[in-house]
Amino acid sequence: MFPCYTKQKYSILIIRIKFRKYWNMEKFETIGEWSEDKLDILGKYSHAYTTILNKHKLTSIYVDAFAGKGEYRSKKTGNKIKGSALNALTIKPSFDVYYFVEMDLKKVDTLEDKVGSQKNVTIFKGDCSKILLNDVLPNIEYSQFKRGLCFLDPYGIHLDWTVIKAAAEMGTIELFVNFSIMDINRNFKKADISEVRPSDMQRMNQTCGSDDWKNFLFDTSMSLFGDVSEKKSNEDIAKWFQNRLKQVAGFSYVPKPIPMKNSIGRTVYYLYFASQNNTADKIIKDIFSKYGR
Ligand SMILES: C[S@@+](CC[C@H](N)C(=O)[O-])C[C@H]1O[C@@H](n2cnc3c(N)ncnc32)[C@H](O)[C@@H]1O
**What digits encode the pLDDT tens for the residues 271-280?**
999 999 999 9
Q: How confident is the model at residue 231 (pLDDT cuts 50, 70, 90)?
A: confident
Query: 210: how many CB neighbours lie within 10 A of its CB?
Result: 13
Identity at 189, one-letter amino acid code: K
Write the pLDDT tens digit of every residue in 62-72.
999 999 998 99
Who wins on pLDDT, 221 or 285?
Answer: 285
Closest atom of ligand 1 to 154 CA is 10
Tell me: pLDDT of 85 over 60: yes
Span of 25-29, 94-98, 147-151, 222-226 with lowest mean pLDDT: 222-226
pLDDT (0 to 100) of residue 28: 74
Cα 69 to ligand 1 centroid, rounded to whole Å:
8
pTM: 0.89
pLDDT (0 to 100) of residue 8: 73
The 8-class DSSP code of residue 232 comes to P
Query: 148: how many CB neighbours lie within 10 A of its CB?
Result: 23
Q: What distance in Å separates the CA atoms of residue 188 and residue 197, rounded to the nearest whole number?
A: 9
Who wins on pLDDT, 102 or 222?
Answer: 102
Question: How high does pLDDT run on average in the chain?
Answer: 91
Identity at 270, one-letter amino acid code: Y
3-state helix, strand, coil in the chain (%, to 5): 45, 20, 30
- Give the CATH class of 20-180+252-288: alpha beta
Nearest to 73 by CA among 32, 20, 16: 32
Reported residue count of the chain is 293
Chain-centroid distance of CA 85 in Å reads 11
Phi, psi angles (nearest 5°) of residue 2: -65, 140
Cα 59 to ligand 1 centroid, rounded to whole Å:
25
Q: Are 161 and 75 in contact (CB under 8 A)?
A: no
Q: What distance in Å separates the CA atoms of residue 171 and residue 142, rounded to the nearest whole number?
A: 7
Q: Are 86 and 70 in contact (CB under 8 A)?
A: yes
Query: 223: how many CB neighbours lie within 10 A of its CB?
Result: 9
Q: What distance in Å separates the CA atoms of residue 167 and residue 137, rounded to the nearest whole number?
A: 7
Tell me: pLDDT of 226 over 60: no
Closest protein CA for atom 27 of ligand 1: 68
Percent of the chain with pLDDT over 70: 89
Closest atom of ligand 1 to 82 CA is 9
Closest atom of ligand 1 to 66 CA is 12
Identity at 75, one-letter amino acid code: K
Write the pLDDT tens digit of every residue in 154-212.
999 999 999 999 999 999 999 999 999 999 999 998 888 899 999 999 999 999 999 99
Cα 154 to ligand 1 centroid, rounded to whole Å:
5
Closest protein CA for atom 12 of ligand 1: 66
Q: How confident is the model at residue 26 (pLDDT cuts 50, 70, 90)?
A: very low
Q: Which helix (H) or strand (E) segment is 41 a member of?
A: helix 33-55
Closest atom of ligand 1 to 64 CA is 6
Cα 179 to ligand 1 centroid, rounded to whole Å:
13
Q: Which helix (H) or strand (E) segment is 59 a member of?
A: strand 59-64
The residues lining ligand 1, judged by C-beta closer than 6 Å to any ligand atom, are: 66-68, 83-84, 101-104, 107, 127-128, 153-155, 158
Closest atom of ligand 1 to 101 CA is 21
Q: Which helix (H) or strand (E) segment is 110 a member of?
A: helix 105-115
Tell me: pLDDT of 25 over 60: no
Cα 90 to ligand 1 centroid, rounded to whole Å:
20
Cα 22 to ligand 1 centroid, rounded to whole Å:
25
